[in-house]
Amino acid sequence: MKSGVSNITSQSEAFEKWMVENPVKPPCTSACPVNADIQSFVSLVAQGRFRESLDAVRERCTLPGSLGRICHHPCEGECRRNDVEGAVNIRAIKRFAADICTDEPHYTPVPKTQGKRVAIVGGGPAGLTAAYDLAEDGFDVTIFEKNDACGGAIYVGVPKYRLPKNIVAWDVAAIASLGVDIKTNTTIGKDIQFDDIAKDYDAVLVAIGLSVSRNIPIPGHDAEGVLLALPFLKEANFNDNATVGKRVVVIGGGNVAFDVARSARRLGAEEVNLCCLECESEIPAFSWELEEAAEEGIKINPSWGPKEIKVKDDKVTGIVFKRCTRVFDENRMFNPAYDECELLEIDADNVIMAIGQGADMTGFTGTSLEVDGRGRITWDPATLKTNLPNVFACGEVVTGPGSAVAAVRNAHHAATAIERFLTTGKAEAVVMPEPIPIGKLPDFTIEAITRKEKNLVPMVEPAERVKSFAEVEAGFDIQTAIYEAQRCMNCSRGADIIPEKCAACLTCVRVCPFGAPYIAEARVANFSWESCQACGICAAECPGNAIQVAFNDDTKINEAIDAGTSGITVFGCQYAVPTVKNPASKATPAPPGVNMVRLMCTSRLDIQHLLRAIENGVDGVAVLACPDDKCRYRKDINWAEVRTERARRIIEAAGIGADRITFMGSPGSPEAFDEMMGEFKAKLNELGANPLSKVLVK
């Protein structure tokens, strides 16, 4: 793993450990196809630790720049802030973490300690993800990519206005930097033979995706002017001189159809009709695609099936549709029915078929890889193995069409299977741990949560959008990203009881602003994780030391405190000092001589923490207040201030001087923080050195 050293040897092991340690995960992580540790990377952005956030994103979401733009973000749909005032804009935060770091260096190559070679056929999202995981695990990975660059569908197919190509290249470069050998312009069966690869490499992963667009065998389907989606999109992406007729009809209702229609608009089509079998509510494309397409003047015609293409002089002049009365039958099988009496004719210069893709298996015919009668690879979804002992497959080529992030998930699965196969010699079923989503927020907790309005991602105006292939969505600026990230409630990272220490005293029940603790039947306190906001007030007040806060336990806090043995130790909530001076820096640069101890919330601050810092010999301890308008927690009592006061009384009694511990306002900016530290230092200079200073000990 890039960040942090541990004795965990593989990516999959790290993921599994994280999942097993506490299978209850926030709903965003549970909904995320790759189960990304969303609150970690969101929290790091909230703290201004952007580079660390990016690294955290990449652990599971291997293409942060690209997925930060095109992921369909099911995480946001499940975000518990939906019940408060609106989901955290997770995708935009992810995109921000990538964008802010684009000028940062990538990684240094991971030593190839495993001594095993893996070939990956296909450099799309699936292949790249598997390469990432396996390279991180120390395998020697080579990607064979038929195009001139990696990215697969998101490189060739996804239009530039949604995903600029330099972003894809940046994502690919990050993976390459781990030491992955990428061989582009290399077509299987032509430039290199599959059977040779299967023989030369310890393991092979086939992740070639679905790269061939299908046509519909209706009259006129081969006329001039009938185009297929992927070639059209490729043209639009890479040929600056590409054009299209004034009147375009797109057939299909998936996301690709919308990409085609919107690209056609940008290429100059004035009248774009999109016709699909599905009725309006069944259109498979994402709702925002429909909205944005409509904004761009594209007419969406649901419930129409193509009947015949009108041709004159071998050229398309229009298309006739028949009313589609049903797409799926009672068994939910694709089985459309039509009413031939109701017809629709649209004049068109181009008809573009965007009805789905198939795999390009040409390079595999006649090889030892088993392919069934319908052209599909023989594949076991549990082991991810093909018929060959060392050949695995993943992604759309075996799972069928899906989202990019779903392919990424399947690739993690495949990488795990390959890693186990290569380390144990056995290819066994790999079970990906499934998180248990934490439940909904109870009403009384919703009431208690401080409202923070959601930020929408800025979009270019529709009239402006259709003029070019410039990116339609702008990213967050630093302040907005930090604000938005601070809206995250850190669901499920809350308090837990040590039953044998609990005196059932009700202190936690009384101090919790969110109604999370309750006295369970066994007469010990327990916590509703649904309600817990992980602020830590209870842990710092529990008279029996019977509460642990998973995200903010004493061991970690004490480690951070012990990092300071002179100068000033500062306690603040994780958001107390925004670090925007050096956006991509790995850690918050505190002023010299200042040791920052970040708590989830200063309500977690324990008097012991303050005294520990003093005992370590620091000259001063400052506690930063949270600005109320930014605080996620409702605080009727300023706990940090109350506890600071008691610590002050104790060190005064000890003759150390109360003023060595101080409760400060919120700095608001790093500059203000520097200034506050300067003033505090001056005050501490007047007091002289801490009598417990280790420097003074003879």
Partner 1 sequence: MIVAEPKPVEEIKKMLDGYDKVLMVGCGTCTTVCLTGGEREVDLMATAVRLMHKVEGKDIQIGQQTILRQCDWEYIDELQNVEDYQAIVSFACGAGIQGLARRFTNIPVMPGVNTNFIGFNEEYGLYSEQCKACGECILDKTGGICPVARCAKGLLNGPCGGTNNGKCEISSDKDCAWVLIYNQLEGQGKLDQFKQILAPKDYGKAGNIRMLDLRK
Q: Which residues within the stretch 586-645 sit at the binding site for partner 1 (CB under 8 A)?
A: 607-608, 611-612, 614-615
Number of residues that bind partner 1 (CB under 8 A): 27
| Residue 549 touching partner 1 (CB under 8 A) | no
CB 530 → partner 1: shortest distance, Å?
Answer: 23
Residue 503 in the binding site for partner 1 (CB under 8 A): yes
Closest CB to partner 1 among residues 173, 506 = 506
CB 666 within 8 Å of CB 624: yes
Question: Measured between alpha carbons, how far is residue 493 from residues 183, 277, 308, 546, 549 in Å?
Answer: 43, 45, 58, 17, 7
Strand partners, 183: 144
In the complex, the smallest distance separating the C-beta of residue 617 from partner 1, rounded to whole angstroms, is 10
Written as six digits, the tokens of 648 are 């002050």
Q: Which of 542, 605, 625, 626 binds partner 1 (CB under 8 A)?
A: 542
Query: Which of 14, 242, 371, 505 contacts partner 1 by CB under 8 A?
Result: 505
Q: What are the C-alpha distances in Å from 414 to residues 15, 129, 150, 240, 429?
A: 14, 9, 19, 37, 10
Q: Name which position in 303, 507, 579, 616 contacts partner 1 (CB under 8 A).
A: 507
Contact status: 501 vs partner 1 (CB under 8 A): yes
Residue (403 or 507) nearer to partner 1, CB: 507
Task: Name the one range near partner 1 by CB under 8 A: 252-260, 408-416, 419-427, 504-512.
Answer: 504-512
Residue 239 has a CB neighbour count (10 Å cut-off) of 10
Q: Which of 4, 105, 592, 655 binds partner 1 (CB under 8 A)?
A: 655
Q: What span, in angstroms and rounded, lies between the C-alpha atoms of 600 and 80?
A: 19
Query: What's the maximum distance between 2 C-alpha atoms anywhere in the chain?
Result: 101
- The one-letter code for the residue type at 90 is I
Q: Cβ distance 579 to 668 under 8 Å?
A: no
Between 106 and 510, CB nearer to partner 1: 510
Find the shortest distance in angstroms from Cβ 540 to partner 1: 9
Among 17, 510, 556, 581, binds partner 1 (CB under 8 A): 510
CB 471 within 8 Å of CB 37: no
| Cβ at position 667, least distance to partner 1 in Å | 28
3-state secondary structure of 568: strand
CB of 253 to partner 1, least distance (A): 58
Give the interface segment with partner 1, choosing from 298-306, 469-477, 653-661, 669-677 (CB under 8 A): 653-661
For partner 1, the closer CB: 386 or 690: 690
CB of 498 to partner 1, least distance (A): 10
Contacting range for partner 1; rule: CB under 8 A; set: 382-390, 437-445, 458-466, 541-549:
541-549
CB 406 within 8 A of CB 399: yes
Where in 95-192 does DSSP place strands (E)?
A: 117-121, 140-144, 181-183
Nearer to partner 1, 527 or 575 (CB): 527
Q: Which is nearer to partner 1, 85 or 652 (CB)?
A: 652
141 contacts: CB under 8 Å, gap ≥ 6: 117, 118, 119, 120, 131, 134, 135, 179, 180, 181
Q: How far apart are CA 516 and CA 492, in angstroms?
A: 11
Which residue number, 588 or 616, has a Cβ lying nearer to partner 1? 616
* Interaction of residue 692 with partner 1, rule CB under 8 A: yes
Report the distance separating Cα 14 and Cα 10, nearest Å: 6
Write the burial class of residue 586 (CB in 10 Å: 0-12 exposed, 13-18 middle, 19+ buried).
Answer: middle
- Select the residue interacting with partner 1 from 545, 678, 679, 689 (CB under 8 A): 545
Among 1, 320, 587, 654, binds partner 1 (CB under 8 A): 654
> What residues does 616 pair with on adjacent strands?
none
Cβ of 479: how many Cβ atoms within 10 Å? 11
CB closer to partner 1, 51 vs 612: 612
User: How much of the chain is in helix, strand and coil states, percent to nearest 5?
Assistant: 35, 20, 45
Q: Taking CB under 8 A as the rule, does residue 694 contact partner 1?
A: no
* Cβ–Cβ < 8 Å for 132, 178: yes
Segment interacting with partner 1 (CB under 8 A) among 75-83, 589-597, 626-634, 649-657: 649-657
| Least distance (Å) between residue 644 CB and partner 1 | 14
Residue from 340, 653, 682, 686 touching partner 1 (CB under 8 A): that is 653
Please report, as ranges, the residues that interact with partner 1 according to CB under 8 A.
501, 503, 505-507, 510-511, 541-546, 607-608, 611-612, 614-615, 650-651, 653-656, 691-692
